[in-house]
Structure 1
Amino acid sequence: MNTAMQLRPILAALRRHKMATLLIVLQIALTLAVVSNALFIVKTRVVHLSRPSGTDEAHLLAISNQWIGQPDVPHIHAQMQADLATLRKLPGVRDAFASQAYPLQEGGGGLVRIKQRVEQKKLQLALSYFADEHAIDTFGIALVAGRNFRADEIGSLGPYDKLVPAAIIITRDLARKLFPDGAAVGQRVYLRDDGPSTIIGVVDRLQGSYAGSSTRSIDEDTVLLPARYASADDGAAYAGGVVYLVRAQPGRLAALLRAAPAALLAQNRMRLISPEDGVVTLAQAREKAYATDRGVAIMMGAMCALLLLATAGGIVGLSSFWVGQRRRSIGVRRALGATRGDIRRYFQAENALLVGIGVVLGVALGIAANLALMAHYELPRMPPWLLGVGALLLWLLGQLAVLGPARRAAAVPPVEATRSV
C-alpha cells in the first residue's frame, strides 16, 4: 500500500528527468533482449557439445593410415586384414575394425540417402560408417533390436564399386524417423536408387563424424554399412587410406597410443601415420570438434556478464545522481516525518518501476531478435521461460544496484531541508 501511494510522486519526479529515464529504460530493454538471446545461444551450444556420441569414448582411439605408393585394391584389402589381425593381438586391445571415418572427426563420413520405396521422392538423409562384425563391440554401442553382422556379410569395396549391401544396421533415431509406427528390423530400404537392403539390427545411439551445425538434424541418424573400403591408386604418391578404430581395455589407452602405430609400421612400413594428428583419442576429437561451440558459449557468457555489469553501473550512476539532486527534497520529507525505511523504499519502488517498463519493452525486443535469428541462422524458437528468467534477473540486479544509493538517500538528515538550493 505504501509503495502504491508513492507512485504519483515517483512519476512526477521521472517526468522532470525525461531523457535520463528514457535512456535507462532503453538500456534495460536492450540488455534483456540481448542477454536472453545470448543465453539461449549459450544453452543450445552447451547442449550440443555435451551430447554423448554413444560410443565408449574413454577407451577409443582412431588411427588415420595412408598408403604409400600405388597399391591396387586387392593388395590394400589384404593389408587391411593383416593390420586388423595385428591390432587385435596387441596387449590391451579389446577390439578393432576399419572404416572411413570416426565420430567427431569433422569430416570423412559418407552421406547416404534412404528411401522406403523405389518410387519415393522424399529422401531421408543419414550419415554412414563402413563396418564389420567387430564394429559394434569396438564402438562400445549396444544393439537394442536385431543382430550384428556376420563375417560372410562383409564386402570388399573399391573406389569405383557400387555398394549395394544386403544387410545394414541403423541407429534408433533413424529407425524412428523411417518407421515411426512400427519395428525397423526386417524392413527393406533403398540407398539412393540401389538396393534393396534389409535392416538387420538397431543400435541405441551412434553419432556421425560431423559435429558442426550443418548436420545437427541428422547427427544421430547413422547407418553401418558392411564393407571394408579400399581407397586405391588415384595417381598420387599417397593412394588414399583407412581409419582404424581401436578400443582399449581399461587403463591401457595411453600405452596403445604409442604401441598401435608402432605395430602397424613394424607390420608394413609402406604407410604414413602423421605424428601430429594421425593417432587421436575420441576425447581429443571431442575437444577439437567442439572448440567453436565452446568458444562461442564462453564469449556469449562473458558478453552477458559485461552487459549486466554495465546496466547495473548505469542504474547505480543514475540513482546516485538523483540522490545528489534531491537531497533538499529528501531532507524535507525527513523533516515531515518520513523514516529512513520510507526513503529507501521510495528509491527501490522507483527503480522497480523503471525496470518494469524496460522489461516489458525488452520482452518485445527479445522476441523480435529471436525471430530474426531463426530466419537468418536457423536457431530454434526461444522458450518463453528464458525471457522470464532474464526479466527476473534484471529486476533483482536493479534492486541490488539501487540499494547503495537508496541507503545514502536514507542517511540524508532532516537539516538538509534548511539548506539553500
Structure 2
Amino acid sequence: MEIRPILSALMRSKVSMILIGLQVALTLAIVCNALFIIGQRLDLMNRPSGMNEADTFLFGSSGFGQGYDARAVMKSDLALLRQIPGIVDAAPANSVPMSGGGWSSGISLQPRQKTSTADSTFYMVDDHGLNTFGVKLIAGRNFTPAEIEDHDQGARVQPPVIIVTKALADKLFPNGDALGKQVYLDEDEPRSTIIGIVEKTQEPWTDSADIEHATFIPYFLPYGNYTRYLVRTEPGRRDEIMKTVEQKMAEANPSRIIGKLRSMEQVRHEAYANDRAMAIILGAVILALLAVTALGIVGMASFWVAQRTRQIGTRRALGATRFDILRYFQTENFIITTMGLVVGGILSYALSLWLMQQYQSPRLPWYYVPIGFLCLWALGQVAVLGPALRASRVPPAVATRNV
C-alpha cells in the first residue's frame, strides 16, 4: 500500500490529526514518568528492613501513680515475656525500623571532628536485642549481659561497645576492617569499639538517605514511666501470642496502660501509606489517560469512516478487498500515532529533566520510552480495529447510491 494517498487524506483533516497526535504525545510523556515513579515507590515499599517482620510485634507500657518503678517493671515484664510459650525472645527497644521516630546522631573517627564521618540511628537494646530484632550477625559478637548499662533518660551516649550495620561499617571504614575499630559517638572521650556487624537494619525514617546506617547500643533505658517492648514469636504464632501478651501484661501490673500491639507488618503498612497512595493515584491516572486516548482514536476513526463511506464503496467497487480497507485505516492510525510518539518521546525526557531539577528525582531510564512506543502502537491498533472492521464491511454498491 502506498503511503502518499494516506498522507494526502490526513492533510485534509489536519486538526483531527494534530489533536490525536498531541493526545498520544502527552499520554506517552505522562505514562512513562508515572510508571517510573510507581516503580520507585514499589522498590521503596519492598526494601527489606533486616528484621524478622513476619513474626515480630511491639507495644508500649505507660505507668502511672506514685511509686511506679519503671526499671523494676521493665525487668519483671521481660522475664514474664521470655517465659511465655511461643515467644522466641523479647527486648526493650527505643525504636524500630520504619516507625518514623527515634534517635540519631553523627559518628566520627576523630575527637571534636567538625563534620561527622557518618550519620546513624541508635537502637538501644539489651543482650537479647539482636535475637529479638531477628537481624543477622555477620561478623564479631553480640553484647554480653555484663555490657548492658542502666542509664537515666537524657544521659550522654558513651557506650564502650557498639554493633553496627554493614552499610555503616563500610561508610566508616571503606577498607572493610571496621571490626575492632574505635569511633566517637560524642565529640570527646570515651571511644566506642565496634564488636559486631549485622548484615542489614533500616533506620526508622523511610525517606532517609542513609537508610541502612544503624547502630545498636547496649543500654537498658526506660523513658520516664514509658517502655517499648519488641517481641519475636515462633513462626506462624504471632497473632495468637499478641492476644496472650496483652492479657498477661494487663494482669501483671494494674498500675500501667498497655498501648496498642502492632505487628511489624502493620508498621511497614503505615510507614509506606503515602507511597502506596501515590502509586494507586498514578496508576488510576495512567488507566484514565490510556482510556481517553483509546476513545479519542475510536472517535476519530469512526468519524472518518462515516465521512468516507462513498469513497470506501468506490474503492471496493474498483477491486479493493476488505483486508485492503482494514489495512488502510490501521496504517493511517499507525502514522498518526508515530508522529505523536516522536513528540511524546521528547516530552518524556523533558518532563524527567524537570522532575530531576525540581524534586531531585532520578533520571528516567532510556528503555521506558521505547517500551511506551510499543504499548501505544498496540493500543492504537486495537482502538482503530472496530471502526476499521466496520469500514471493511462497506459494500461496493454504496458507491452507486445517490447522495
TM-score by length of 1: 0.90
Aligned partner of 1:307 among 282, 289, 293: 289
Matched, 1:225 2:217: yes
> Which of 4, 11, 17 is the equivalent residue of 2:7?
11
Which residue identity lines up with residue 114 of structure 1 in the other structure?
Answer: I
Paired residues for 1:405-416 under 5 Å: 405-416=387-398
Does residue 283 of structure 1 match 2:277? no
Residue of structure 1 equivalent to 2:59: 63
Is 2:109 the counterpart of 1:116? Answer: yes
Residue 70 of structure 1: CA displacement? 6.2
Match of 1:266 among 232, 236, 251: 251
**Aligned pair 1:105/2:90, yes or no?**
no
Match in the other structure for 1:31: 27
Q: 2:241 aligns with which of 248, 256, 260?
A: 256
The 8 Å contact of residues 157 and 186 in structure 2, kept in 1 or not, is answered as: no
For residue 326 of structure 2, the aligned residue among 323, 326, 344 is 344
- What CA distance in whole angstroms lies between the structure 2 residues aligned with 1:70 and 1:357? 78
Task: Give 1:366 shift.
Answer: 1.3
Displacement of 1:260 after TM fit? 1.8
Aligned partners of 1:392, 1:157: CA distance in 2, in Å?
Answer: 63
SS at match of 1:382: coil
Q: CA RMSD in A?
A: 1.9
Contact 1:96 1:134 (C-alpha < 8 Å) held by counterparts: yes
Separation of aligned partners in 1, 2:119 and 2:369: 35
Question: Following the alignment from structure 2 to structure 1, what is the Cα–Cα distance between the partners of residues 34 and 63?
Answer: 47
User: Displacement of 1:304 after TM fit?
Assistant: 0.8
In the alignment, the residues of structure 1 paired with residue 64 and residue 314 of structure 2 have an alpha-carbon distance, to the nearest angstrom, of 92
Cα distance 1:116–1:79, how it changes in 2: closer, same or farther (>3 A)?
A: same
Look up the equivalent residue of 2:107 and give its one-letter code. I
Map of 1:244 onto structure 2 = 229
Match of 1:236 in 2: none
Within a 5 Å distance, the mapping from 1:326-405 to structure 2 comes to: 326-405=308-387
AA matched with 1:246: V
**What SS does the aligned partner of 1:185 have?**
coil
Work out the CA distance in 2 between the residues paired with 1:382 and 1:254.
42
Correspondence for 1:294: 276
Distance 1:251 1:412, change over 3 A: closer
Distance in 2 of aligned mates of 1:175 and 1:417: 82
Deviations 1:63-103 (A, max 9, x none): 1112224668xx43333222211211112211111011123
Task: Give the match for residue 142 of structure 2.
Answer: 148
Which SS does the other structure have where 1:416 is aligned? helix
Q: Letter of the 2:381 partner, please give it.
A: Q
Residues 124-151 of structure 1: CA deviation (Å, up to 9, x unaligned): 2222211121111111111111111111
Cα pair 2:249 2:258 within 8 Å, conserved? no
Partners of 2:331 and 2:215 in 1: CA distance: 61
**Matched AA of 1:218:** D
Q: In the alignment, what sits opposite 1:96?
A: 90
On the 8 A contact 1:156/1:230 being kept in 2, the answer is no
For the residues of structure 2 that align with 1:368 and 1:157, how far apart are their CA atoms?
55
Structure 1 unmatched ranges of 5 or more: 233-238
Task: Work out whether residues 62 and 282 of structure 1, in 8 Å CA contact, stay in contact via their aligned partners in 2.
Answer: yes
Q: Does 1:54 align with 2:50?
A: yes
Report sequence identity in percent.
Answer: 44
Does 2:195 match 1:200? yes
* Counterpart for residue 235 of structure 1: none
Q: 2:180 aligns with which of 162, 172, 186?
A: 186
In the aligned structure 1, how far is the partner of 2:186 from the partner of 2:304? 71
| Counterpart position of 1:135 | 129
Q: CA deviation at 1:362?
A: 0.9
Distance, in Å, in 1 between the alignment partners of 2:173 and 2:10 is 63
How many positions carry a matched residue from both structures? 401
The structure-2 alpha-carbon separation of the partners of 1:71 and 1:397, relative to structure 1 and needing over 3 Å to count, comes to farther
Whole-angstrom CA distance in 2 between matches of 1:420 and 1:114: 90
Aligned to 2:169: 175
